[in-house]
Structure 1
């Protein structure tokens, strides 16, 4: 059934998910007023024109829509293409499988396997805007010295000349090829941060503007947009020549220096305007999608902002979280991660351990317990990512717990990779809501535990000072990390000393 507007009465005990990943803590919808316009802000993270119901119903459109849950009704209004709805798919899993194979079938390719089998190391919090060749190498050496496995290392913002001029800054990186060789010898793969912005009056700007490769505003002038690092022109990624130019810059970095992949930041729909003039007429969401498609060329990639493209081999990181327990901190990791999976973004990564929102991280007093619980919560996501150096900010006891979390991820990395391969075949999430796997158990409101695939139940401690927590066990026999065996269904209070990440395997 398709239409431009719809209004439907919610069923008894019906729960809904979808729209914006950053609304994860508000999901499931349907029990209080909630309004979202998907044509405006995505709140710095992924979004998709999809709503899913625990009763096997869905709403989908190829373009943005706004939706409201209020007084037991769902109202949806399309901003372009017609709305498509369906029902009769039984459960959350049943309806997800239907919409996945119908609207965003999975590509058979995977992102780089090392992203799943080892921790990642992003240098943002540690180096901010002052990365240097020696600091990068020292970070990598320290990873190995404290007993953590090598993985992907990401050199973040300001390794380069002005934005759009993707050449290593010669003062900070005197011999990047040698640096990359040393990192490879240590067992790391290397990613570089890039973005779709071009500094005005730079060599790249002077090349791109007369060639018509930059976005124009509603007046036909080169658009100059404010973003978190100032004012810049913007690549028009609806233009194949623009994408070819940009890809040539990245390919050169791979060819000349051995770079393995790229963190493709920004691309948020907020940086585009409805009246912009582009090579192919589109919306701000369309520009966000066009930027995301650039990364399909590179097996080692990462995005934070994305519109649609569920099912594609793109790594989707949660937006920058704060160094705090509640608000937009540790409490948001699981609900936002579950939202990623239910929107079709299977290859998901939590934010940097301890928080990637650098102002919060650098101005708050460091909470060593919070850092450890961040690491434990991240350890059995499909991916985990360190940034602030635990060997610098923690004492030996707390560092030891983080090393254990990193090693646990590597220990189960083979199984996580198998789940990623399953996602590439079926589209199913790797990280799954309890209600996805156990639809008749009344688990729709559970936001502090999750399933890794269909066999692993993960229940981290998420509150300051927590030394015990309740775990809801579905039907089955569950063997714990501590050797215990639990017969479900049951609710059980378990001990969670600071060194423990509780996880259980279904027998």
Structure 2
């Protein structure tokens, strides 16, 4: 039986949690808002958690829906028991309590290179034309243009077919040599993969005969529409299906020396609660099983996920528009902060400039170079940063130079970011942190355009067009910029923020 709950809101109480994509609407509590998590139909991570700055929490092992009205938080359609807690001091205190009880950290860290160097994804640059020669040209150009090497992700369409995880022989004449060359250039190599299987193929017929594919409510193999057409889906509640999938991936690791995988799709929206699987679960549970599989590979990336907080998984924000608004650059900080407050410490913003390829294509003839630079700067002091469209190709020399400086800034901070990530693996705390998380008594609950990197670095990117000055909220203490100037907080101060640099400060102890 589904359960309903009502919680009266306290004066000045604000809440975070539910779905990462709603970070742009957080904190909740000051205006009406509702979210359905049964199932999660957003394109990013979600979890059955809500925490407040007044030290209260809501948690369930199963999905629920919630709504904020003027004075109430209403929980509905709860699929399991909902636990409530209170009496904690503030946002950080209640987060640490919930994290320790419900999703304790594993002490394991994803691949360190994810944090110390930029990532490069071939998607926007090559789209579906993933070919050996073009991939090598892209990698060589990264180095030739002075960009730091790092992780190179070869995206969708390198493979023969969905479910046939071999290099396409027509597009890759010597994939072993290609990977060898990429390693020589200083890159670790990831391949895109997904849990879908194209119908009417020999692999599909074999998996169907072995009972390794998800079935619909009528007991027939489920064929679902997704952005690349219609496909069957591996039943990852079935250990034999997991074993089969891992065999395909392990072959790529062992034979071609692939370093890791970008695990895409697998969103709850492609499953149904009525689907028949080896172990009964709901739509969100199938996404959770997909994420469990990726833990085997230290170099991994997910975009969609259910629960799995505290695990050594790289969690990217969903594909963004080439825009300044809430579906573009304006979403990176609030949604990244939401990831951290839901236990997803190892966060990555979307591809610089916007990774929603149709929107990027539509704007390719009138690319906003200022926007591209601000994307790069906003990403530079996130735990990870990821390029795709080649900045040396789409920008003039001046704007490319600013992006290059952002990449080098990330590399310069790489060891510091890695140390904070190593601490996050042990403690479960976010790497980038909400101002209200770090300074609970200073009224920062609604500050969503700056963040803390660890305990001591305050980062204040520009996220609005044509802006060369911005107000920065300084907490109590002394804050030093990279030129050595010190500002004493608490203060709200108008700061110069030219296009040529990212605004950041270090706490002076």
Residue aligning to 2:441: 440
CA deviation map 1:409-435 (0-9, x unaligned): 010000000011111110000010000
Aligned to 2:481: 480
Distance in 1 (CA, whole Å) between partners of 2:253 and 2:179 is: 10
Q: CA deviation at 1:484?
A: 1.3
What is the correspondence of 1:65-84 to structure 2 with a 5 Å cutoff? 65-84=64-83
Report what 1:471 is aligned to: 472
Pair 1:359 & 2:358 matched: yes
Please give the alpha-carbon distance, in whole angstroms, between the structure 2 residues aligned to 1:253 and 1:202.
21
Counterparts of 1:482 and 1:198, CA distance in 2: 55
Asked if the contact 1:317–1:349 (Cα under 8 Å) also holds between the matched residues in 2, the reply is yes
Cα deviation, residue 146, structure 1: 1.2
Deviation at 1:37, TM superposition (A): 1.2
Between the aligned partners of 2:40 and 2:389, the Cα distance in structure 1 is: 29
2:273 aligns to what?
274
> What pairs with 1:347-426 in structure 2 (closer than 5 Å)?
347-364=346-363, 365-426=366-427
CA drift at 1:203: 2.3
Deviation at 1:9? Answer: 1.1
* SS across alignment from 1:76: strand
Q: Does 1:44 align with 2:33?
A: no
Q: Does the 8 Å CA contact 1:22/1:42 hold for their aligned counterparts? A: no
User: How far is the alpha carbon of 1:384 from its aligned partner?
Assistant: 0.2
Q: Does residue 451 in structure 1 map to residue 443 in structure 2?
A: no
Q: CA deviation at 1:482?
A: 3.0
Rounded Cα–Cα distance in structure 2 between residues aligned with 1:58 and 1:310: 16
The answer to whether the 8 Å contact 2:40/2:46 transfers is: no
Q: Distance in 1 between matches of 2:381 and 2:89?
A: 29
2-structure distance, mates of 1:230, 1:333: 29
Cα offset, 1:71, TM superposition = 1.4
Report if aligned partners of 1:199, 1:233 keep a CA contact under 8 Å in 2. Answer: yes
Query: In the alignment, which residue of structure 2 is the partner of 1:335?
Result: 334
- Give 3-state SS (helix, strand or coil) of 1:232's partner: strand
**How far apart, in 2, do the equivalents of 1:456 and 1:100 lie?**
23
1:78 is displaced (CA, Å) by 4.7
Is the partner of 1:167 in helix, strand or coil?
Answer: strand
**Partner SS state of residue 209, structure 1:** helix
Q: For 2:282 and 2:27, how far apart are their aligned partners in 1?
A: 28
Measured in 1, the distance between the counterparts of 2:308 and 2:415 equals 26
Aligned to 1:127: 126
| CA contact 1:472–1:491 (8 Å) conserved in 2 | yes
Task: Report the secondary structure of 1:23's partner residue.
Answer: helix
Q: Which residue of 2 aligns with 1:181?
A: 180
1: CA distance, partners of 2:77 / 2:273: 16
Instruction: Give, in angstroms, the shift of residue 5 of structure 1.
Output: 2.8
Asked if 1 retains the 8 angstrom alpha-carbon contact of 2:295 and 2:313, the reply is yes
Q: Matches of residues 133-144 of structure 1 in structure 2 within 5 Å?
A: 133-144=132-143
Return the offset for 1:479: 0.7
Contact 2:24 2:326 in 1 (8 A): no
Secondary structure, aligned partner of 2:240: helix
Q: How does 1:104-119 map to 2 (within 5 A)?
A: 104-119=103-118
Structure 1 stretches lacking a partner, 5+ long: none
Q: Determine the C-alpha separation between the residues in 1 that align with 2:136 and 2:432.
A: 33
SS of residue paired to 1:473: strand
Residue-by-residue CA offset, 1:211-232 (whole Å, 9 max, x unaligned) = 0000001110011000000000
Q: Aligned equivalents of 1:476 and 1:391: distance in 2?
A: 40
Deviation readout 1:153-176 (Å, 9 max, x if unpaired): 000000011100000001111111
Aligned length: 505
- Give the TM-score normalised by structure 2: 0.98
How far apart in 2 are the matches of 1:485 and 1:421? 29
| 2: CA distance, partners of 1:4 / 1:37 | 14
5 Å matches for 1:193-232?
Answer: 193-232=192-231
The secondary structure found in structure 2 opposite 1:140 is: helix
**Following the alignment from structure 2 to structure 1, what is the Cα–Cα distance between the partners of residues 70 and 445?**
19
State the partner residue of 2:22.
23
Q: Which position in structure 2 is the counterpart of 1:241?
A: 240
Per-residue deviation, 1:80? 1.8
CA distance in 2, matches of 1:279, 1:201: 23
User: 1:162, 1:202 within 8 Å by CA — same for their partners in 2?
Assistant: no
For residues 120-176 of structure 1, the C-alpha deviation after alignment (integer angstroms, 9 at most, x for no partner) is 000100000011111111111111111111000000000011100000001111111
Distance in 2, Cα, partners of 1:387 & 1:129: 13
Answer whether contact 2:43 2:267 (CA < 8 A) is retained: yes
Shift of 1:178: 0.4
Contact kept? 1:20, 1:42, Cα under 8 Å: no
Aligned to 1:313: 312
